[in-house]
Amino acid sequence: MDPTGWTISDFANAYESGTSVADVIDAVLALMRAAPIGVLIGEPLDDLARRDAHRIASLDASTLPLYGVPFVVKDNIDVAGAPTTAGCPGFAYEPVVDATVVELLRAAGAIVVGKANLDQFATGLVGTRSPYGVPPNVIDPSLVPGGSSSGSAVAVALGLVPFSLGTDTAGSGRVPAALNGIVGFKPTLGSASTSGIVPAVRRLDCPSVFARTVDDAAVVARLIRRPDLADAFMRPVMHRVPFRSSPIVGVPSSWPAELEITDDMVSWFAVAVDRLRSLGCEIHPVDITPLLDVGRMLYGSAMVAERSAVVGDAVDKGVAGLDPVVASIISSGNDITAIDAYRAEYELTRRRALAVGLWTEIDVLALPTTVSVASLADVAAQPVGRNEMMGRLTTFVNLLDLMGIVVPLPGVARLPAGLQLIGLAGHDDEVARLALGFESGVLAANAQPCSLVVVGAHLTGLPLNHQLTERRATFVRRARTSADYRLFALPGTVPPKPGLVRVASGAGAEIAVEVWAMGHAEFGSFVDAVPAPLCIGSVTLDDGSVHHGFLCESFAIAEATDITEFGGWKAYIASPATPGSL
């Protein structure tokens, strides 16, 4: 048995066919032992993995969404019984409980098989700042693997496991995904617990997921989005309206010179944008300069002192195995005063105000993940400069309370690049839907929970249709009611409106309508604005389905004109005999 490259579904299929969890996990552990130097810290977690395999073997697989699925964990995330090093031998400790995200995944049936290498203290985007070696870039070994979650990304890219956990503060869950041709999912900040994770910048840290497919990454991301009272930085995440039925995708109107983006990356991104356009997305140029201005503050201001606040003591003590570049970055925070920190916060607030308005124009922002690639030699010669270049298009995301998914471009020569799709906090599922469409070439329709039948001025092209579209409602289909309704032109309404009234069986006719769909919150705000004598009730269509829809109170038709014979409102207002007809 060779489980190299298996997805979550492949593991489920193996178990359904009768393969034992123990045999599968033994095969995965063999892969882990043969992994290149630098992917793992320490040996595979044989004993822990086999105990878990034995534990779940007697359980009902249908109740565990990740039954017997192996994964690796970035080594700044606690796994009970295994040392946590954060990439620094002298910092190591052995936790007695799992990090919350690990606990949730193990409870779902997943099995931890190893701890993955990282840029020390999650400080870096190159993947070379570790005394445990450098994981190989799977596309081009001369290039850096990207960091800080280097080992987690490479383990998935090599096919050793179907998914892994990383963390993302400045881009650590996205840069190594792009550079190794896999999916990287950075959830909304505060939606997944950081309990049991060694902090980098405590208020900006976020657990992240690497996987070979968008679907696998989304499954795992949903499983770790659970409340945790032990994490004071968690928060309820506001529900966002769904994307427009044809999503508006923001792309840079120009590439600022200071980005230093390469011609190869510009050409690659143009192909990616064409693929988005082919899915039905509307491409909208935007100015990304305010975003870059925010991103520069993460390392280029007093904010760097936050790293000193969490691991500065270890650096000051000179614990064994410190990376000199990481130690220099963290110790630099010692010279920053409280006044400097407050001034940086004021400046960040100013820059945020200039940047956040961008999402009033678009549903999602599309960017390359990096402006270029970097060789191992480049980083050795310029360890700080090349690292800064790796994060120019990622560092602003958590500072602006955004989420993001990186997905490879299918069917294109394997330039180490990934499309970064960035959305507002709370838009995780919608961005995942678009990323899945980009991956597969087919964009699924919005799955909005509330259907609404409209009959008059809210129909497509009529004066009140904007009340639907501004709530991101999705047009579903044209339809007809059952033959149990009559339609009336209500006098004195502005704009003119009809009233739909249900009548006795055999006394009505089929009326042309449209079916729309929208989210729960949007539906509530829409209903709240419906004026009397109109109301929202239950409307039966000619196929027997029942939906929320516009009806009219019966008292209001006493002086109204019966227009049922026209078969619908649009036919009535288009009639030459209708006052003010089209």
Q: What is the residue-level pLDDT of the chain in tens, covering all 582 positions?
A: 899 999 999 999 999 999 999 999 999 999 999 999 999 999 999 999 999 999 999 899 999 999 999 999 999 999 999 999 999 999 999 999 999 999 999 999 999 999 999 999 999 999 999 999 999 999 999 999 999 999 999 999 999 999 999 999 999 999 999 999 999 999 999 999 999 999 999 999 999 999 999 999 999 999 999 999 999 999 988 767 778 878 999 999 999 999 999 999 999 999 999 999 999 999 999 999 999 999 999 888 998 898 999 899 999 999 999 999 999 999 999 999 999 999 999 999 999 999 988 998 899 999 999 999 999 999 999 999 999 999 999 999 999 999 999 999 987 666 899 999 999 999 999 999 999 999 999 998 777 778 899 999 999 999 999 999 888 888 888 999 999 999 999 999 999 999 999 999 889 999 999 999 888 888 999 999 999 999 999 999 998 889 999 999 999 999 999 999 999 999 999 987 666 554
Taking CB atoms within 8 Å and a gap of at least 24, the contacts of 97-101 are 97/196, 98/196, 99/73, 99/193, 99/195, 99/196, 99/197, 100/193, 100/194, 100/195, 100/196, 100/226, 100/228, 100/230, 100/231, 101/77, 101/165, 101/192, 101/193, 101/196, 101/197, 101/207, 101/224
pLDDT of residue 357: 87
Residue with tokens 């309508």: 513
CA distances from 261 to 35, 183, 209, 253, 316 (A): 33, 22, 26, 14, 37
Pairing state between β 474-480 and 364-368:
unpaired
Residue 250 lies in a domain: yes
In a domain, 434, yes or no: yes
How far apart are the C-alpha atoms of 95 and 75, rounded to whole Å?
12
Answer yes or no: do 435 and 481 share one domain. no
Whether the Cβ atoms of residue 404 and residue 420 lie closer than 8 Å to each other: yes
Per residue, the 3-state secondary structure of 480-516, as one string, reads EECCCEEEEECCCCCCCCEEEEECCCCCCECCEEEEE
Q: Do 417 and 512 belong together in one domain?
A: no
> Given 130, 152, 164, 172, which residue is catalytic?
172
- CB 358: neighbour CB atoms within 10 A? 17
Residues 35 and 116 in one domain: yes
- Report if residue 582 sits inside a domain: no
CA distances from 502 to 35, 234, 367, 452 (A): 70, 49, 52, 17
Which residues face 552 on adjacent strands? Answer: 534
- What single letter denotes the amino acid at residue 301? S
Nearest one of 497, 462, 500, 502 to 484, comparing CA atoms:
502
In a domain, 521, yes or no: yes
- Closest listed residue to residue 201, CA positions, set 40, 356, 344: 344
Question: Among 398, 413, 440, where does a domain finish?
Answer: 440
Let me know: does 496 contact 457? Beta carbons within 8 Å.
yes
Task: Return the percent helix, strand and coil in the chain, to nearest 5.
Answer: 35, 20, 45
Active-site entry in 115, 130, 148, 308: 148
In a domain, 495, yes or no: yes
Q: Is residue 222 located within the same domain as residue 263?
A: yes
Of 393, 410, 440, which residue constitutes the final position of a domain?
Answer: 440
Q: What is the pLDDT of residue 580?
A: 54
pTM for this predicted structure: 0.84
The answer to whether residue 179 sits within a structural domain is: yes
CATH code of residue 418: 3.90.1300.10
Q: What is the CATH number of the domain that holds 484?
A: 3.10.490.10
Alpha-carbon distance of 363 to 214, in angstroms, equals 19
**Whether residues 162 and 294 fall in one domain:** yes
Do 464 and 383 lie in one domain? The reply is no
Is there a contact between 182 and 135 (Cβ–Cβ < 8 Å)?
no
The rounded distance, in Å, linking the Cα atoms of 35 and 30 is 9
The answer to whether 129 touches 152, Cβ cutoff 8 Å, is no
> Of 440, 458, 486, which closes a domain?
440
Quick one: 370 and 508 in the same domain? no
User: CB 13: neighbour CB atoms within 10 A?
Assistant: 12
- Return all residues near 447 (Cβ < 8 A) that are at least 6 apart: none
Q: What is the pLDDT of residue 582?
A: 47
| Residue from 74, 186, 497, 570 carrying the catalytic annotation | 74
**Domain co-membership, 427 together with 314:** yes
Would you say residue 2 lies in a domain? no
| Residues 434 and 484 grouped into a single domain | no
Query: From CA 193, how far away is CA 191, in angstroms rounded?
Result: 7
With respect to residue 581, please indicate whether it lies within any of the assigned structural domains: no
Q: Which residues, including other chains, have CB under 8 Å from residue 233's CB and lie 6 or more apart?
A: 190, 194, 202, 203, 205
Cis peptide before 383 (omega within 30 of 0): no
Indicate if 172 belongs to the active site. Answer: yes
Say yes or no: 373 and 407 in one domain: yes
Q: Is 74 a catalytic residue?
A: yes
Edge-to-edge strand list for the sheet holding 207-211 = 111-116, 70-74, 163-167, 207-211, 183-186, 402-407, 419-424, 364-368, 248-252, 282-286
- Domains of the chain: total: 2
Length of the chain: 582
If asked whether residues 172 and 38 sit together in one domain, one would say yes
Among candidate residues 430, 289, 306, 308, the one with its CA nearest the CA of residue 363: 430
* Structural domain harbouring 279: 8-440
Nearest to 25 by CA among 51, 7, 58, 43: 51
Burial class (CB in 10 A: 0-12, 13-18, 19+), 258: exposed
Q: Judge if 231 and 133 occupy the same domain.
A: yes
C-alpha pair distances (Å), 284 with each of 249, 270, 277, 292, 408: 6, 13, 11, 18, 21
Inter-residue contact 15 to 67 (CB < 8 Å): yes
